[in-house]
Structure 1
Amino acid sequence: MVCPRCIKVVREELEKLGVKIKSIILGEVEVEQPKDELPLEKISKILGDNGFELIEDSKAKIIEKIKNEIISAIQQYEVIDLEKTNFSKLLNDTINKDYNYLSSLFSKTEGITIEHFIILQKIEKTKEFIKYGELTLSEIAYRLGYSSVQHLSRQFKSTTGMTASEFKESHANLRKSIDSIKSK
């Protein structure tokens, strides 16, 4: 789950099954019932039908938490000053695991580094801003914590294969859903 709409869908679907929800946040649901009383097969099917999955493996849960923390920080850029955001500290503090362990686990599982995942998420947010057409590239660079518009431009070109201007002029929807971003 990577957005408020996703949370709403999951909440509604679980409540239809009679699941009593204690709390629900991005990527995580805490329920009142013991695990052995939950209709896990039905939950898994309903989540799958809505584009989600039930994750029970502890390492997979950690990977999902890493992704959700990064996505939340970048999507809610007004709340967090991305230029000053130390993602390694953020992940260490929120997941309560050593960053070296998180980084190694993420790289082995996803095939890219956490740093590269952050770049890919920022580039997708850049595409969103460009499509809206309300901000200049300099303003986008500032909002996403880039040291300069040139730095953003270089990363955009190396990631997408086109300049920001070329992307803006293309009429194709070349954006990806934020939860499906893996690598080039």
Structure 2
Amino acid sequence: MVCIRCQMVVKSELEKLGLNYIYVNIGEANVTENLSDDQLKKLDHILRKSGLELMDDKKSILVEKIKVAIIELVHYTDDQIKVNLSDYLSEKLNHNYTYLANLFSEVKGITIEKFFLTHKIEKVKELIVYDELTLSEIAYKMHYSSAAHLSNQFKKITGLTPSHFKDLKNKRRDTLENV
């Protein structure tokens, strides 16, 4: 569950099944009662129809928490973290960064840094398409040292310059779930 729309789906499905929840956040839900195996199977089946899944493996849950922390940082907050990404994730998830990085790479097949940069570039694409900010303003908002640094990273990841991307008005952005 990596977007607000996913949260809404989970809330709705829990309510349809008559399950009470304490909270549903991006990446996790806390229900008030212990679910029977039958209830878990029903919930899993319903969620899979919506492209979601239940996770009960601790490693998969931790990887999902890493993803959610990065997605929230990039897409849902304007605050710049005061420490580097490794310290931020270690502190937020209460695990050694080396362990987190190795686990993430093992499960997802890419590094945390690549995942983070991919999401930053997706956010940059969104801001370019909105056409409300200059490239310098986007660089500042996304915590790049300069527009040139942003442009270099953008080209390295997309193969396009930001201005060429902007010219391709019909270029579709990836959904968060596909990044």
- TM-score by structure 1 length? 0.91
Is the Cα–Cα contact under 8 Å of residues 157 and 164 in structure 1 kept in the other structure? yes
Q: Which residue of 2 aligns with 1:144?
A: 142
Determine if the alignment matches structure 1 residue 166 to structure 2 residue 164.
yes
Q: Which residue of 2 aligns with 1:68?
A: 68
- Local SS of the residue matching 1:121: helix
Q: Which residue of 1 aligns with 2:20?
A: 20
User: Once the two structures are superposed, what CA deviation does each residue of 1:10-52 show, in whole Å capped at 9, x if it has no partner?
Assistant: 1011110111111211100011111436611211121111221
Unaligned runs of 5+ in 1: none
Is the Cα–Cα contact under 8 Å of residues 19 and 38 in structure 1 kept in the other structure? no
Amino acid at match of 2:157: T
Identify the match of residue 134 of structure 1 among 132, 135, 142. 132
Determine if the alignment matches structure 1 residue 81 to structure 2 residue 58.
no
Amino acid at match of 2:164: E
Q: Which residue of 2 aligns with 1:11?
A: 11
Is the Cα–Cα contact under 8 Å of residues 27 and 65 in structure 1 kept in the other structure? yes
Q: Which residue of 2 aligns with 1:29?
A: 29
Aligned-residue offset at 1:174? 2.9
Is the Cα–Cα contact under 8 Å of residues 146 and 152 in structure 1 kept in the other structure? yes
Unaligned runs of 5+ in 2: none
Aligned-residue offset at 1:53? 1.2
- Local SS of the residue matching 1:67: helix
Q: Which residue of 2 aligns with 1:49?
A: 49
Amino acid at match of 1:155: Q
Alignment RMSD (CA, Å):
1.5
CA distance in 1, matches of 2:170, 2:49: 27
Q: Which residue of 1 aligns with 2:154?
A: 156
Amino acid at match of 2:3: C
Counting aligned pairs with the same residue, the percent is: 45
User: Once the two structures are superposed, what CA deviation does each residue of 1:55-89 show, in whole Å capped at 9, x if it has no partner?
Assistant: 111111011000000000111232x215x452212
CA distance in 2, matches of 1:98, 1:55: 22
Amino acid at match of 2:11: R
